[in-house]
Amino acid sequence: MIILPALASIMLIILEFWLIASFFVFLFFLMLIFFRDPERKIGKDIVSAADGVVDYVKKNNDWLLISVFMNVHNVHVNRAPINCKALKVSRKAGGRWPAFLKRSEKNSRATLIFQTEIGEIRVIQISGVFAWRVCPYVRKGNIAKKGQRIGIIRFGSRVNVWLPADKVKCMVVPGQKVLAGETTIAEVVN
C-alpha cells in the first residue's frame, strides 16, 4: 500500500513538470511569432509603415495623418513609407495606455522626421499597454529606402504617419488591413 502514495506523488511531480514545460514552450512560440520579420514585396507610391489595421485617417491643417493600430499577432517591425533621409529622431517617455484609447497620445514614443521627395514626413512609433520599448533603427542623417526597416515597437501598438496633405492622395480607409512596406497608403499627386 505504500507504493500507491509514492506513485501518486511521482505522477504529481511529472504533471507539474509538464505544466511548467508547456508554459515555457508556449511562451517561446509566442515570442517567435511576435518577433518575426518576414521579407516583403515593396508596394507602389507611399507604403504603410506598420502591419495592422488603419485606425483613423485625419486631415490636420496641412497634414494627412494615417494611424495604424498593431495587434499582438501583427509583425511589429516598422518600415520606411517612402525613400527618405532622417532629419531628426527623438524619443519621449510616457504612459502605458492601450493604443486604441485617446489617452495613448501620452504614451512613450519615438518621432522620426524624414526629408523626402514630397517634403518632410513624420513617422511616430507609439507604445501601448504591453509595449516594453520603442526602438527606432535609424539615426539623424541615415538614408532609408522605401520598405527598409526603420524600427520596432516591442509588444507595441500604433504607428502614425504624417504626410503633406497637398502632395498626397489617401488610398486607405479606417478598418482596412495593411502590411508594412507592401500596402499603398497614399499616392503622390502632381
Residues belonging to the active site: 157
* Cβ atoms 81, 145 nearer than 8 A: no
The Cα-based distances of 62 to 132, 166, 190 in angstroms read 33, 7, 16
For CA atoms 143, 58, 126, 76, give the dihedral sign: negative
Number of neighbouring beta carbons within 10 Å of residue 152: 19
How many angstroms separate the CA atoms of 166 and 111, rounded?
22
How many angstroms separate the CA atoms of 86 and 74, rounded?
25
* Cβ atoms 114, 87 nearer than 8 A: yes
Rg (CA), the chain: 21
